[in-house]
Amino acid sequence: MRLDTRPRDARPGRRRLIAIAAAALLTLIGLVAPAAAQAAELDAITSATIVEPSSQVHLYDTIRLEATWAVPDTAQPGDTFSLSFPTTPQLVGISSTFQMLDPDGATIGTCTVSATGIACTLSDYVATHDNVQGTLFFQVKAEQTTEDGTLTFTTGGGVPIIVQIPGGGILSQEPNPVPTDALKTGSQTVNGGIEWYIWVPGSLLTGQNPTIVDTFTPGLTLLPGTIWLGHVATADWNGGFFDPSLFTTLTPETDYSLTVDTANSFTLELAAPALADHLYRLQYQTQLPAGVQTGDVFENTVTGSSFTTTTATLTVTTAGGGGDGDGLGGFTVSKAISGEGASLVPDDASFIVDYSYSTAEGPVTGSLTLAADGTTQSVQGIPVDTVVTLSERPATPVAGVVWGASVFAGAGVTVVDGAAQLTIGDDTTVAAQLTNSTTLAPPAFGGFSVSKQITGNATSLIPGDATFVVEYAYATDEGQVTGSLALAADGAPQTVQDLPVGTVVTLTERPATPVTGVVWGEPVFSGPGVTVVSGGAQLTIGAETTVAAQLANPAALVPPPSDPPRPPTAGLATTGGDAGPMAALLALAMLMVGAGIVLTRRATIRAAQTRDVTRRSAR
């Protein structure tokens, strides 16, 4: 037997108006409230089914629905999905908030049931899982009848979800017989409480001031403002569908008094005897305690002046849901520099690590650029149990640094042939560290060479053993260094080695030794890396290289002397007389006189020598 426990006056209409107004207010709030940054509304709910009642649905029944949902792999934390309740016929949601959990207790999202619909917000779970889906359930009150066999719910994206109604529609309530004993029932309210209904025949409320004592389960909270007491004539019962205007509402403090006995009980005392041919109804609400779960049972017991204890129980059915997904994980890589050369590596130096792994869709490859300062780079959203391979490209050379082997390390990281492998865990991140060892590079040295080249039209006059001296000079930490090189004319190079890299060497040539018939030109230095400067050349020493300088000396033939003056041509006029024969005779005479003097001197010397010999013999 169904007992109409709803008021038969204007209150149902008022509650419907309040529900409609609340729905409009919530809609308005939804229109003006700013959307969460980067959140998207998903059409995740795919189906819904009425599971209770299972045979017929009547007006004011509590309807339990179950729905299936699934979100795309692109869903992000903060994304939402929702389902709006029908307005024709009107269904009003029983408010509730719950978390959707996976089998391990991880929170997938949080859902809230309001008067007009259910809305769910996804958690970080979707960032670490693919194929996230599940079910949820919620309750609504049937506030209108309909002959249609279906209800139309609507997703947040406007997709209709058609639900079949058991029995083919929402039916009117069935008539109930006149209660002959105290009767108590309870139902959940749309705002998260319990509304209790107590019917007592007036014939059981005896005495001058009849009393009704009500006791409810500890933990429930009485809402005094919801207490409502009144009566209707038994003759007007009409199966419970009495005319609301025939129901008499009693006034607090005038027609009855309220005494709160304990935290979970109260007493009502009538100010006058009860009417024996009337039915008295006490109606009030209690608030459910925090943390109430589906399946929790609450009791309510009522006693009166002349009736025995009557107890009602209510098993709470709120809302809930859950789901699951294929776990995802990720990995990170960070760089560390070790060794005596670490201080020479600039902070903005970068190192490239390549990664690869296989999925059902095919191989995946990528690379991470790591900074020398240890900043972590991350890759997420990889299916659980995926094996990732890491390898580092050769490091960019750094002056003064010799790179050692790179070594991967970290919990769950395995070194394989100079690379590394790691296995992705469920909702975890494997942290790999890549360390590059360094040593200081030994000092670098180089050198230079100089060779001679003779050019010009006098090269054949230059002796094969001719030498040319080139002086060099450069600065070191210990001071200035000078030296010289003797270059052969045949072009054989002379070399100076073991000079520090970066040393600037200045070359100059001494003046070339004179060669008969040769005029030396200006010497010219040349060669890759050789710069001609005033008076010579300069070059800079490179690492493990020899700068080759070539010195060219132009040699030109001495030009022939100018021609002597020619004698006058015969027939031309002469001046000063004919002196030619006289001059010749004078010269001949002088020669003869000179010869005579010489002969006379020799004779004198011989005579003197003869006398001297004679004297020595006489002795």
Q: Tell whether the torsion through CA atoms of 197, 202, 206 and 209 is positive or negative.
A: positive
Listed residue (532, 550, 540, 441) closest to 500, CA to CA:
540
**Could you say which residues of the chain have pLDDT below 70?**
1-38, 562-619
Output the pTM of the full model. Answer: 0.56
Q: How far is CA 130 from the centre of its chain?
A: 20
Beta strands in 71-113 (DSSP E): 80-84, 91-93, 96-101, 107-113
Looking at the DSSP assignment, which residues form a beta bridge with residue 315?
297
Closest to 377 (Cα-Cα) out of 429, 316, 424: 429
Distance in angstroms (rounded) separating the CA atoms of residues 96 and 105: 20
> Other CB atoms closer than 10 Å to residue 555's CB: what's the count?
22
- pLDDT of the residue at 49: 97
Closest CA to 41 of 122, 135, 153: 122
* 165 touches 148 (CB < 8 A): yes
Residue 266's contacts (CB-CB under 8 Å, 6 or more residues apart) are: 213, 214, 222, 258, 259, 260
Residues 566, 555: Cα–Cα separation, whole Å: 33
* pLDDT at res. 564: 63
End-to-end CA distance of the chain: 198
Domains and CATH numbers, the chain: 35-174 (2.60.40.1280), 176-318 (2.60.40.740), 326-440 (2.60.40), 445-557 (2.60.40)
Note whether 136 and 111 are within 8 A (CB). Answer: yes
Dig out the tokens for 358 from the structure. Answer: 């296989």
The residues that bridge with 437 in the sheet, in sequence order, are 338
pLDDT score at 17: 37
Q: What pLDDT does residue 566 have?
A: 64
Residue 615's SS3 state is helix
Question: Rounded distance, CA 426 to CA 327, Å?
Answer: 5
> What is the pLDDT, as a whole number, of residue 306?
77
Distance CA 183, CA 309 (A): 10
Residues 364 and 357 sit within 8 Å (Cβ to Cβ): yes
pLDDT attached to residue 38: 67
pLDDT of residue 40: 94
Instruction: Return the DSSP state at 394.
Output: P
Cα 366 versus chain centre, distance = 14
pLDDT in tens, 162-219: 999 999 999 999 899 999 999 999 988 888 789 999 999 999 999 999 999 999 999 9
**pLDDT score, position 568:** 58
Question: Which amino acid, one-letter code, is at 41?
Answer: E
Q: Tell me the CA distances in angstroms from 267 to 303, 383, 601, one per residue in order.
A: 10, 63, 185
